[in-house]
Amino acid sequence: MSTDIRITDSHCHLDFPDFDAERGDVIERALAAGVNRMVTICTKLRQEPQVRAIAEAYPEVFYAAGTHPMSAAAEPMASVDDLVKLAAHPKFVGIGETGLDYHYTAESAEVQKQSLRTHIAAARETGLPLIIHARDADDDMARILTEEYRTGAYTCVMHCFSSGPGLAKAALDLGFYLSMSGIAAFPKSQALRDIFASAPVDRILVETDAPYLAPPPYRGKRNEPSYTVHTAQKGAEVFGMDWAEFAAQTEANFERLFTKAVL
């Protein structure tokens, strides 16, 4: 493939220990593959300084921060002011990831909802996109996103989207974006690919969620940002587009949503 084609890994976790031994090499491999930008995500606010340091060390890396829903009950509750202050950093480009996860942590649902609404308020105040994690919580997620949007508009990406068509429609109806991860490239994910295919292509992003969810041909191995290319190529197939055309479209989509992530 031509390295003249550029894409963005809109969601990865470069601070995770999986990358400690070769973080610089991982970033270099991404750049060599045509992944010209990465957004690394802080999932616990007490770890924000370490994540920020990575973004500061590499021109191509930006960052976002929030409290992951699976950690919402164990971590101090973030305030809107906390998140707004962090957003002043020039390389801070999004709020989250936040959301609802009833697969592993349904017992903390009420705390997760409170945390989610706080993050939405911060996204609304800063104008930065909200980054949503949703698992086995489609009805509550659609309801809260819609209720909050009626209170005041905000922008949002449904990260690593793997939920049902109802939540996809609710998000798209609000003008939000869906992000394709390696899951969309798994052989048994045709139903998910069908959901993406029915979405407007100008509302699609691509990501790795590295170190998780490596796409074929690396499934089962540690994921890394360079592998975004494999998911994006599957995305081009899903939308019946030329690879270069799809890559250019997802770049335009990313830049429209993540307005601070400018190289």
Q: Which uninterrupted H or E stretch holds 160?
A: none
Q: Is the pLDDT of residue 185 over 60?
A: yes
Mean pLDDT of 116-142: 98
- CA torsion sign, 73 to 76 to 80 to 82? negative
* pLDDT tier, 3 (very low <50, low <70, confident <90, very high otherwise): low
**pLDDT > 90: percent of the chain:** 98
3-state secondary structure of 68: coil
201: pLDDT confidence band, cut at 50, 70 and 90? very high
**Contact status, residue 96 vs residue 176, Cβ threshold 8 Å:** no
**Which pTM does this prediction carry?**
0.97
Expressed in angstroms, the distance from the first to the final Cα of the chain is 23
What is the structure's pLDDT at 1? 43
* pLDDT surpassing 60 at residue 214: yes
Q: Which amino acid is at 141?
A: M
Write out the H or E segment, with its range, that includes residue 64. Answer: strand 61-65
Sign of the alpha-carbon dihedral angle for 126, 131, 135, 136: positive
**Which pair of structure tokens corresponds to residue 177?**
């974006």
- H/E element holding 117? helix 109-126
pLDDT band at 4 (very low <50, low <70, confident <90, very high): confident
Q: What are the tens digits of pLDDT across the range 22-37?
A: 999 999 999 999 999 9
Q: Is it the case that residue 45 has pLDDT exceeding 70?
A: yes
Backbone angles phi, psi at 89, to 5 degrees: -65, 135
Q: What is the CA radius of gyration of the chain?
A: 17
- pLDDT band at residue 124, thresholds of 50, 70 and 90? very high
- Tell me the three state secondary structure of residue 161: coil
Supply the pLDDT for residue 263.
84
Written as one letter, the residue type at 123 is A
Looking at residue 106, its pLDDT comes to: 97
- Where do we find the tokens 């690879």? 243
Structure tokens at 32: 């060599």
Q: Which amino acid is at 11?
A: H
pLDDT at site 250:
98
Tell me the mean pLDDT in the region 136-165. 98
Look at residue 49 and tell me whether its pLDDT is greater than 50.
Answer: yes
Give the chain's mean pLDDT.
97
Strand-pairing partners, residue 190, are none
Mean pLDDT (whole number) for 174-200: 98
Q: How far apart are CA 64 and CA 115, in angstroms?
A: 16
Q: Position of tokens 């659609």?
A: 142
259 neighbors 16 (Cβ within 8 angstroms) = no
Q: Six-digit token pair at 29?
A: 């491999």
Domains annotated for the chain, with CATH where assigned, are 7-257 (3.20.20.140)
Question: Taking residues 104-110, what's their average pLDDT?
Answer: 97
- pLDDT confidence bin for 2, thresholds 50/70/90: very low
